[in-house]
Amino acid sequence: MITPEIIAKHGITPDEYERIREILGRDPNFTELGVFSVMWSEHCSYKNSKLELKKFPTTGPRVLVKAGEENAGVIDIGDGWAIAFKMESHNHPSAVEPFQGAATGVGGIIRDIFTMGARPVFSMNSLRFGDIRGDSAEARTNRRLFAGVVAGISHYGNCIGIPTIGGEVYFDESYAGNPLVNVFCLGVLRHEQIARGGAVGIGNPVFYVGAETGRDGLAGAAFASRELTEESKEDRPAVQVGDPFREKLLLEACLELLASGCVAGIQDMGAAGLTCSTCETASRGGTGVEIDVNLVPKRESGMTPYEILLSESQERMLVIVNKGEEDKVRAIFEKWDLPYAEVGVVNDDGMMRVREGGSVAVEIPARKLADDAPLYSREAAEKKSPLPLDLSAIPEADPLAALPTLLSHPSIASKHWVWRQYDHMVRLGATVLPGSDAAVFVVREANKILAASTDCNAIYCRQDPREGAKIAVAEAARNIACTGAVPLALTDNLNFGNPHKPENFLQLREAVEGMAEACRKFDTPVTGGNVSLYNESPAGAIDPTPTVGMVGIVEDPAHVTTQFFKAPGDAILLLGDPGDELGASHYLLAVHGLKAGPPPRLDYDAELAVQDAVRSLIRAGVVRSAHDCAEGGLAVALAESCMSGQEIFGARVELADGSPRTDVALFNESQSRIVISVRPDDLAAALQLLASRGVPARPIGTTLAEPRLEISAAGKSLAWPLGELRNAWTSAIGNLMGS
């Protein structure tokens, strides 16, 4: 008997239960209740966010598959080639089982890509953890989560042979107990290779292929749609276990299968497992699908239909096969030594029907289940502007100490400790090593060069979600411009707290509207992504973190540009106004322990002009290095330009006396600024081009052979030995992690 307590435990409200009864014309049985609970969870249905997501621009001349149509969006990159890319989260699983949570997140996003018919060629990630400094129990837990997540990502990516070529890692107290693990993958395909996930062709057989189904990952989608609590360790069965070697076999088998012409439709068994793949393929195809759970390969005995349907065991696919091609399909699966079974058939009644031998365990209209979950527009709190920053109440820190403090802050420090665990050289496509503004990858089969970046400053979003989300898009585009690339499109991962709380829903709405506005300005349609809500621990909600993953294209190999200085004697230029906005800066956080003031304001015209100008300079062949000013401001950008390459080059810089405070001049985070270096002979041409475009720019210094950074600002002459700065920057995370 289904009681109100059982309904509530499944995350179904009384009103939703009545809706289920209306759809079925009866009460659901226990298995059907479980099916509705996962498909109508936030993780699968986006019931609290879908109305907001409709605000994103999703079309454009390059868009071949729109957001929401399939497992991933597809973008044309010319000459008959296309890319499929997407970002997903595995936040809650990684909080309770960091290694497997992160590893299976990587596996899941890779499947989303090859399900589209694309060969995955690289991955990236965006990670957030609590503060790893100190010896408190919380810091030790944060270090354990950090180490486990990085190990899980490296294990899966390295074993399957897909390079992890870039990303970002931030540390902040708001993520203590609720880390964010956002994973990104991109694949390449010809236009004619785009695969679809619809169950089409009445009478076509339905095949299951991949790992046997077990009890791991049970109700993982529902688990990801509620807050983390002190009891969340009991949810370890909701964390899947991954096998990258099995996934490699599945990847190759599926790509061969798609090339064979045998496939009418294909769908990854991701969130909600067999339930999701069955009802979604039927809904997309406008058909029905009937399967028998007794035929499903299982690795554990005694599994019930409820467990089989809700299991999120990894490395599994559902394939709709053209009738008459069954033997060819079986031969491919056997060649790749994969478990498989013919488990069902496509029919014309629009139902998702699940049998257990001779009895019917589930019978639900597929479209109602997959596409008609209730949609909510939650109450939003009243918007309040952040209080202005009162600099008179903030003492000016000693800049000689402040710069190494910033460079050693884990969010700004070199992430070499992370990257050294990733095989970023497999496939030999990473032409820019991790650590520059954006990753750059050569897709040799398509003769194309792609740039990609993940970005979000959550402090900005905490202070002003709309402005912070706009800046996330702008910074991603700026990072891509600094490599010489033109932005094409983006995917996102919207990480927020419980949407039932008005202040959290306001953050979500503001961020979506800000991001949507920026996407239109930068002409970067949203190809898809993920919404991860309920990111809260007992200590409270995370800072709003709408992460952007953007992809661009480089037209000529000669245009590929990196952030570090190349030789002594080059002129250093600052593109954009010097700025004076210190609010919401990492300087305030790292040096003064404050999240205060409004974030910097984004001027679209100024931003677009700076990005277009730096690309024009790169194409003209006059730029030797380009690095955007972001966290830590101009001083951090200069230090990183000096020491992020294999060789260290110093710099002598003189800033105009426009600021009464040195910390404002050095560490403000005003937007639309890029530091470039050019040969002395090219300086006049560079300045002429910038002037012709009306872009504020000025020579600010010269690169040095000596390993020191000298800056004159606000009437002070400052100097730092680069050896000391580099040691603070490169060793900070390794020292904290004990390696």
Q: pLDDT tens for residues 250-290? A: 999 999 999 999 999 999 987 788 999 999 999 999 999 99
DSSP string, 13-41: -HHHHHHHHHHHTS---HHHHHHHHHHTS
Averaged pLDDT for residues 294-298: 96
* CB of 495 closer than 8 Å to CB of 546: yes
Q: Which of 10, 43, 409, 627 is labelled catalytic?
A: 43
Question: The CATH number of the domain where 587 resides is what?
Answer: 3.90.650.10
Distance CA(506)–CA(537), nearest Å, equals 19
| DSSP designation for 564 | S
In a domain, 628, yes or no: yes
Last residue of a domain, one of 347, 371, 395: 371
Ranges of H-type helices in 409-526: 416-419, 458-463, 465-482, 502-522
As to burial, measured by CB atoms within 10 angstroms (0-12 exposed, 13-18 middle, 19+ buried), residue 321 is buried
Contacts of 330 (CB under 8 A, 6+ apart): 340
In a domain, 117, yes or no: no
C-alpha 97, offset from chain centre: 20
Task: Give backbone dihedrals phi and psi of 127, rounded to 5 degrees, phi first.
Answer: -120, 145
pLDDT of residue 45: 92
Contacts of 728 (CB under 8 A, 6+ apart): 404, 407, 408, 413
* CB of 624 closer than 8 Å to CB of 679: yes
In a domain, 607, yes or no: yes
Whole-Å CA distances, 456 to 244, 495, 630: 29, 11, 11
* CB of 93 closer than 8 Å to CB of 105: yes
* CB of 138 closer than 8 Å to CB of 424: no
In the three-class reduction of DSSP (H, G, I as helix; E, B as strand; rest coil), residue 536 is classed as: strand
Question: Which residues sit opposite 364 in a β-bridge?
Answer: 352
Token pair recorded at residue 91: 């936040």
Averaged pLDDT for residues 641-654: 96
Contacts of 506 (CB under 8 A, 6+ apart): 380, 381, 382, 383, 465
Residue 43: active-site member: yes
* CB of 659 closer than 8 Å to CB of 667: no
The predicted model scores a pTM of 0.95
In a domain, 366, yes or no: yes
Domain limits for position 689: 562-739
Residue 131 pLDDT exceeds 80: yes
Ranges of H-type helices in 194-313: 220-223, 244-260, 273-285, 305-310
In a domain, 284, yes or no: yes
pLDDT of residue 595: 97
pLDDT of residue 241: 80
Q: Which of 10, 90, 559, 627 is labelled catalytic?
A: 90
In a domain, 478, yes or no: no
Which comes out higher in pLDDT, residue 44 or 321? 321
Distance CA(274)–CA(272), nearest Å, equals 7
Model confidence pLDDT, tens digit, residues 409-437:
999 999 999 999 998 888 778 888 888 99
What is the domain count for the chain?
2
In a domain, 665, yes or no: yes
Distance CA(338)–CA(315), nearest Å, equals 10
Averaged pLDDT for residues 88-98: 94
Averaged pLDDT for residues 487-492: 98
% of the chain with per-residue pLDDT over 70: 97
Instruction: Look at residues 321, 307, 317 and name the one whose alpha carbon lies nearest to residue 278.
Output: 317
Residue 500: active-site member: no
Which comes out higher in pLDDT, residue 435 or 689? 689
Instruction: Look at residues 255, 311, 246 and name the one whose alpha carbon lies nearest to residue 278.
Output: 311
Q: To the nearest 10°, the Cα dihedral for 559, 562, 563, 568? A: -90
What is the pLDDT confidence band of residue 439, given thresholds at 50, 70 and 90?
very high
Instruction: Look at residues 246, 188, 245 and name the one whose alpha carbon lies nearest to residue 72.
Output: 188
pLDDT of residue 225: 44
Model confidence pLDDT, tens digit, residues 133-154:
999 999 999 999 999 999 999 9
Model confidence pLDDT, tens digit, residues 205-247:
999 999 999 987 775 444 444 455 555 445 445 577 889 999 9
pLDDT of residue 325: 96
Instruction: Look at residues 422, 412, 498 and name the one whose alpha carbon lies nearest to residue 172.
Output: 412
Last residue of a domain, one of 354, 371, 388: 371
Buried b (16+ CB within 10 A) or exposed e, 567-596: eeebbbbbbbbbbebbbbbbbbbbbeebbb
Residue 122 pLDDT exceeds 90: yes
Averaged pLDDT for residues 517-539: 95
Distance CA(37)–CA(43), nearest Å, equals 11
In a domain, 515, yes or no: no
What is the pLDDT confidence band of residue 596, given thresholds at 50, 70 and 90?
very high
> In 10 A of CB 426, how many CB atoms?
17
Last residue of a domain, one of 317, 351, 371: 371
